[in-house]
Amino acid sequence: MAGKSSEEVTALLLNWQSGDDEDAPAKLMPLVYDELRRVARAYLQHEREDHTLQATALVHEAYLQLVDDKKVTWKDRAHFYGIAARLMRQILMQHARAHQAAKRGGPAQVKLSLEEASDLSTDCAVELVALDDALEGFTKVYPRKSKVVELKFFGGMEAKQISEVLQVSEKTVLRDWNFARLWLSRELRHDAA
Amino acid sequence: MPPKDAERLAELVEHAFELEGAERAAFVTQSCGDDAELRAEVDALLGEQEHVSKLMAAPAIEFGAALFIGDGTDAGELPAGEMLSDYRIVHLLGEGGMGEVYLAEDTQLHRKVAIKLIKSGFGTKAFVRHFQQEERILAALNHPNIARLYGGAVTRNGLPYFVMEYVEGIPLADHARARSLGMDEKLALFRKVCAAVSYAHQNLVLHRDLKPANIRVTEEGEPKLLDFGIARLLDPVTSETDNLTMLTAGVMTPDYASPEQRRGDRMTTASDTYSLGIVLYELLAGEKPNLRKNGQTEAKKFGGDIDNIISKALRPEPERRYASVGQFSEDIRRYSEGLPVIARKDTHGYRASKFVRRHKAGVAAAAVVLLALLGGLITTTRQMRIARQERDRAQIAQTKAEQARRQTELAKKQADRLNHFLEDLLSSADPAKMGKDVKVVQVLDAAGKSIDDDLAKEPEVLAQVHETLSRAYERLKVIPPAEQHARAALGILRQLHGEEDLATAKAEFLLGSVLASVYQLKEAEPLVRHALAVERRQAPPDAFALAETLRVLGGILSRDVRPGEAAPFLAESLALMRTSRGEHSLEYVQVLYTQAHAKHMETEVAAMQNRKADLDGAIAGYRRVIELFDQLAPSSTQAILARVELCICLGREQKWAEEEQELERLDQECRKTLGENNAFSVTSRGLHSILDFIKGDYPRVLEEARQPLDFSVANMPANHRNVVQLRGLYGLALTRTGRAAEGEPFLRAAYTEGSKTERFPFQFTFGNVETALGECLFAQGRYAECESLLLTGYDDLKTRLGEKLPMTVAAARRLRELYTAWNKPTEANRFAVQENPPANSSR
């Protein structure tokens, strides 16, 4: 059930793959972004009860909406998932930072009642922002490993898919992931202390 | 840490991680050898193992799901006992279009409250911001016949709710039926409702959804109005519009909505009057009126004046209804007491007072205009009196008497003209002619249209009126017509009296000040300098006028970033002002302000010459001036201007916390004094956006910066630094929210215009603009294009600000990202090393 942007996205993916359009990633971004937001919102509205959401399912739905699966190869799909992960990160961090910023402003009275009402989201906003910052630092030293984190944590992808996207072995992906967690954990605890 | 070491560290840790116990220890010892530092790093990272179990255990979207929630849909009825903050839900009271109303108990204050849970999905953030704007006003409504709003918040699921006074009562119509109220009782009850609505109107709050269901009557027979102002709270569109107007019908119940409301036009107090008219009809008749297509009721129902009263409240044209709810109520009283009612005649007598009452925000400015006009009138009247005395004294000298008579006539004519003008001004303020939200500006526009024709034969008077209008516009900061009228006055006076006349000089001064206020300094300067020369020739000199001219000239030079030249003029101005007005005068503080501004500009000169300069002197100066303004003229535009400059200085010094505090104050003052749309509140919002940007709240930047940007683009030269900065900011915010292609035109414009700007303020250099455009192109994958921009931007930042400033560091990061993405590791490392000195990265 491909959506109306499907043709466009599929064509962009194909052109990108064939090297015909270097700007394809930039053109894909807004299309995928909108779709992801829409799907994420729809999911969250229906799954509010337990506040969970299957990231993979979400990206997959966006993918189905946007890409004509019959026309593209697994490689294109890998690219798509790579973009999606980056966007998921952007969307989520936007929310988290905006949430944090909103907390800091405004009259004290309202702020107080809001704080009581939304501890949950505040906590995870704070954690996400800290994590994102730490990840920035990590990216400087370990660009590929940080890509693994992005695909897995923000894109919700499995090691196998990640290995396809990054064209490394699955074992490397797992090693990268383990190392990244150690490194980030140290960074976060260091900052907190 | 050098990349090689980083790779080695990672390899060791990854390998060791897969080993356990003694095997791991042996491996680490063997691999690290004598390198104690490496050993410490490896151990520290492996030591993290016990902490990592929860880190990123679930995908971010699951973890962060709570952040997304807030665009709510139905979550089902709240069960009894459920807690919302301090409130315990008792049971559902009812459901409406917007959501559900619950009876709840305030566990802190042990009282019953009504909680209105809003389910018409809109985002938490939008609601919170909107609510913060309104809450103070609504919570301040304290009237025995209005149910109080205690507060509002957002549930854990992101649904907004209001906490309101719980009213134990029955709907108005039920009450009337149950008690079989007679006509007089019904009218008395209705007048209490009117009193409550009138009270709210005086506090600048419209109800917007008046209907019998929103009017409850208690056991004691007291009416209570529910949901005051709630409709507006739920309409984020209106947050930018006036307190007394509303753009859309929103959630209004159509049966009671006024025609303008149903059309989606602006709402005013007259819209509430209309709804009240329907409520009254229904109260008296027991059914809703049968409305014709145009909204007018079928005539004659109850007989007598009450029909006239209701149909006046229900006129389709808002301006033909009662001027206020108070007047409506008063007419009902007159009817009850058998007095003649005003509903009979369509009177014009209320226009002036109605205008003043309805447009409180603009009234201060209108008063200024009127005072100026009256001032002119008094002058001419005095001339007339002098002329008459002349005539009396010189009764014998026939020629002299004739001359005096002519003079009297002229003066009288002038007085008449001004008088008429004044009248026209007021009558053109009739909302009937211009829609409901007449602003003083519109009044002035209407008045200014015909003066050239009306006063063509009296150029002296015409010039005077032009000057008056120009000053009025200038006070309102509506510059184009201010300039136009000043030019007209100057043209006339030059023709009448020549260049060297004092009256001409005053017009020059006026035009010069107007132009200076929009930075047209090149034209302003010679005008004011010439006016100064003429004024200096006067004997005896008018110390105050001289001081004002000197101050304006100093201000022009200061704004032209020539603070050194400004200083002597300002010193002279200060001395003259001290003698003519004293130190406790606004005018004196104005000079102090200009001096602070000159100090501020000194730092810009320093920045241009790449010298470091601190703004402490200017900040202290502004703070002092603000303190004095607050004493002498609280909430004046001068005080606001000083606050704007103070915020700019604090921002430049990167004192964000202080700036945020000052901005909040500035916002309040702006809104209090000037309403929503004016240069100051726009500047203040622009400054806010810069802060939001620094905080990384890009969506909010996109929401809030657009208006200040459009305003600046429309009102300032394209290469003005504010325009460049706001364009850059907006474009970069788009880029950082994944809309780089949309952001590019803004950044291109900033880049093109910015390259024509010589003067960038301290801490904001062209390098910022280059780097921003580079980032935008990078985000679109146009690596080759962005490389040179990022490089020159980085160099500029490095030279002007130094290597360690956050902006320079960020620019280096962009370059590293570029080369990493471009697969040019050597270049990438060049910038990695600069950004991450080894000493810091090894921890």
More confident residue, B206 or B494: B494
Helices B766-779 and B783-801, axial angle in degrees (round to 10): 150
- From CA B362, how far away is CA B675, in angstroms rounded? 9
Q: Cβ of A141 and B6 within 8 Å?
A: yes
* Rounded Cα gap, residues B684 and B637, in angstroms: 13
- Shortest CA gap A18–chain B (Å): 16
**Nearest to residue A179, comparing CAs of A152, A154, A142?**
A142
Gap from A36 CA to chain B (nearest CA, Å): 11
Provide the mean pLDDT of chain B.
75
Asked if residue B461 belongs to a domain, the reply is no
Nearest to B153 among A89, A113, A181 (CB): A113
Q: Work out the number of other CB atoms within 10 angstroms of the CB of residue B499.
A: 11
Q: Which of B343, B367, B400 is the last residue of a domain?
A: B343
Mean pLDDT across B735-746: 91
Quick one: angle between helices B398-427 and B351-358, nearest 10? 50
pLDDT in tens, B107-128: 888 889 988 887 544 444 545 5
C-alpha–C-alpha distance, residues B537 and B123, integer Å = 66
CA distance A103 to chain B (A): 10
Domain check: are B158 and B174 in the same one?
no
Say if B699 falls within a structural domain. no
Is residue B414 scored above 70 in pLDDT? no
Q: For residues B39 and B115, state if they share a domain.
A: no
Q: Kindly report which listed range (B217-231, B355-369, B583-597) carries the lowest average pLDDT score.
A: B355-369
Is the pLDDT at A173 greater than 90? The verdict is yes
Average the pLDDT over A136-147 and give the result: 90
- With bands split at pLDDT 50, 70 and 90, how would you rate the model's confidence at A175? very high
Q: What was the pLDDT predicted at B381?
A: 47
Q: Nearest residue of A to residue B125 by CA position?
A: A102
**Chain A residues close to B10, C-beta within 8 Å:** 142, 145, 179
Classified as helix, coil or strand, B843 is coil
CB-based contact A110 B14, cutoff 8 Å: no
Of the candidates B86, B184, B209, B227, the residue annotated as catalytic is: B209
What one-letter code names the amino acid at B676? E
Q: Classify the C-alpha dihedral A116-A119-A122-A127 as positive or negative.
A: positive
Most confident of A58-67, B210-219, B679-688: B210-219
User: Residue B801 is which amino acid?
Assistant: L
Out of A101, A110, A121, whose CB is closest to B697?
A101
Amino acid at B124: T
Same domain, yes or no, for B224 and B325?
yes
Whether the per-residue pLDDT at B357 is higher than 60: the answer is: no
pLDDT in tens, B88-102: 999 888 775 556 788
Complete DSSP assignment for A39-99: HHHHHHHHSGGGT---HHHHHHHHHHHH--TTT--HHHHHHHHHHHHHHHHHHHHHHHHHH
Q: What pLDDT sits at residue B592?
A: 92
B170 forms beta bridges with B217
- Residue B123 sits in a domain whose CATH number is 3.30.200.20
Q: Which domain holds residue A185?
A: 6-192
Q: In this complex, do B59 and A124 lie within 8 Å of one another by their Cβ atoms?
A: no
Domain that holds residue B236: 169-343
How far apart are the CA of A156 and the nearest CA of chain B, in angstroms? Answer: 5
Tell me the two tokens of residue B17. 């991680």
Q: CB-based contact (8 Å) between B813 and chain A?
A: yes
**CA nearest A91 in B: which residue?**
B737
What was the pLDDT predicted at A85? 76
DSSP classification of residue B291? B
What pLDDT does residue B734 have?
93
Query: Do residues B26 and B83 share a domain?
Result: no
Mean pLDDT over B528-541 rounds to 91
pLDDT at position B435, please?
A: 32
Does A18 map to a domain?
Answer: yes
Same domain, B290 and B233: yes
- B139 and B225 in a common domain: no
Residues B141 and B287 in one domain: no
Residue A107 has pLDDT above 50, yes or no: no
Task: Please compute the mean of the pLDDT values over residues B327-335 and round it to a whole number.
Answer: 87
Domain assignment present for B267: yes
Per residue in B443-475, pLDDT (tens digit) is 566 666 666 766 666 677 778 778 877 876 776
Cβ <8 Å between A53 and B61: yes
**What residues contact residue B820 under an 8 Å CB cut-off, 6+ apart?**
A143, B828
- Secondary structure of B507-557 as H, E, C letters: HHHHHHHHHHHCCCHHHHHHHHHHHHHHHHCCCCCCHHHHHHHHHHHHHHH
At B602-630, the pLDDT tens digits run 876 776 565 666 778 888 888 988 888 88
State the pLDDT at residue B674: 56
- Is pLDDT above 60 for B289? yes
Query: Who has greater pLDDT, B718 or B801?
Result: B718
Partner-chain contact B60 A121, CB within 8 Å: no
- Tell me if residue B209 is catalytic: yes
The number of domains in chain A is 1
Rounded to whole angstroms, how far apart are CA atoms A88 and A151?
Answer: 9
The closest of B476, B483, B550, B469 to B511, measured between CA atoms, is: B483
Cβ within 8 Å, pair B780-A26:
yes
On chain A, the residues whose CB falls within 8 A of the CB of B62 are 51-55
Q: Say which of B67, B75, B780 has its CB closest to residue A99.
A: B67
The rounded distance, in Å, linking the Cα atoms of B392 and B390 is 5
Q: What average pLDDT does this structure show over B240-248?
A: 31
Closest residue in chain A to residue B689, using alpha carbons only: A101
* Pair B222, B263 in one domain: yes
Strand order in B215-218's β-sheet? B169-171, B215-218, B223-225
| B427 within some domain | no
Chosen for mutation from A185, A188, A191 (greatest number of chain B CBs closer than 10 Å) is: A185
B235 and B96 share one domain: no
Count: domains in chain B = 4
In a domain, A1, yes or no: no
Whether A148 has a pLDDT exceeding 70, the answer reads yes
Paired residues of B162 in beta bridges: B116, B152
Minimal Cβ distance to A184: which of B55, B61, B75: B55
Residue B600 and residue B15: Cα distance in Å, rounded?
Answer: 60
Q: Give the mean pLDDT of B477-498.
A: 88
**pLDDT on residue B513:** 93
Residue B396 pLDDT > 60:
no
Please give the average per-residue pLDDT across B469-497, as a whole number.
84
Best residue in A49, A83, A110 to probe B by mutation, most B CBs within 10 Å? A110
**List of residues 6+ apart from B387 with CB closer than 8 A:** B404, B407, B408, B411
Would you place residue B164 in the very low, low, confident or very high pLDDT band (cuts 50, 70, 90)?
A: confident
Beta bridge partners of B149: B164
Same domain, B121 and B245: no
Q: Which of A1-10, A146-155, A156-165, B507-516 has the highest mean pLDDT?
A: B507-516
Cβ-contact B613, B581 below 8 angstroms: no
DSSP label of B147: P
Are residues B192 and B302 both part of a single domain? yes
Q: What is the dihedral of CA B698, B810, B727, B626, to 10 degrees?
A: 80
What would the two tokens of residue B770 be?
């280059």
B434: pLDDT strictly greater than 60: no
Residue from B19, B42, B45, B68 whose CB has the most chain A CBs within 10 Å, to mutate: B68
Comparing C-alpha atoms, which of A50, A96, A118, A112 is closest to residue B75? A50
Instruction: Specify if A123 maps to a domain.
Output: yes
Count of CB pairs separated by less than 8 Å, A with B? 210
With beta carbons under 8 A apart, name residues in chain B contacting A154.
Answer: 59-61
Chain A: nearest CA to B61, how far in angstroms? 6
Residues of A in contact with B739 (CB under 8 A): 30, 33
Top residue of A38, A90, A113, A127 to mutate, by most chain B CBs within 10 Å, is A113
Same-domain check for residues B106 and B205: no
Contacts of B132 (CB under 8 A, 6+ apart): A106, A107, A110
Check which CATH number belongs to the domain holding B271 and give it: 1.10.510.10
Average pLDDT over residues A91-115: 50
Cβ distance of A52 and B131 shorter than 8 Å: no
